[in-house]
Structure 1
Amino acid sequence: MIRLNRLDEEAFLLNAELIKYVESRPDTFITLTTGDRIVVTQSMDEVMRRTLEYHQTKGLLPPTGKQS
């Protein structure tokens, strides 16, 4: 789950596994695999960063900036 804010600044948790794609128009729109769309205050890059961090904590992606 990643923490985001709606345009009215209400915080909510989003299951990052449901993200289909993210658009910047100029607000950030998140389209879910269910077809639902959510508009958030975070930038597209911030949503991507939080999503990647979420997947890294699950062990699905290697940590960034570390070499083996």
Structure 2
Amino acid sequence: MIELTRLNGDKFSLNALMIEQIQSLPDTTISLINGKKIIVKDPHTEVTALIKAYYQEIGIQESLIEVGEANE
């Protein structure tokens, strides 16, 4: 889980595995695999860093790199 901040200042945790896409429109908009969209205060780069850290913490960062290399 990663901790983010909604536009109204409320903090919440989001399962990073549910994230499909992140956009800056100019607010950071996160699209989930279930079709929901969440707008957060956190900058795109910070959200990406939180996701990478979470992937490393649960041990899937290396697996994703290996899958990417296999698909090339």
Task: Return the TM-score normalized by structure 2.
Answer: 0.84
Question: How far, CA to CA, are the matches of 2:32 and 2:61 in structure 1?
Answer: 21
2:31 aligned partner: 31
| 3-state SS of paired residue (1:8) | coil
Structure 1 unaligned residues grouped into runs of 5+: 63-68
| 3-state SS of paired residue (1:21) | strand
2:14 aligned partner: 14
Runs of 4+ in 1 over 6 A off after TM superposition: none
Aligned residues: 62
| 3-state SS of paired residue (2:8) | coil
Question: How far, CA to CA, are the matches of 2:61 and 2:37 in structure 1?
Answer: 26
Question: How far, CA to CA, are the matches of 1:59 and 1:36 in structure 2?
Answer: 26
Deviation per residue, 1:31-52 (Å, 9 max, x gap): 0000000000001110000000
Give me the identity figure in percent: 39
| 3-state SS of paired residue (1:48) | helix
1:65 aligned partner: none
Q: Residue 60 of structure 1: CA displacement?
A: 1.0
Q: Residue 59 of structure 1: CA displacement?
A: 1.0
Structure 2 unaligned residues grouped into runs of 5+: 63-72
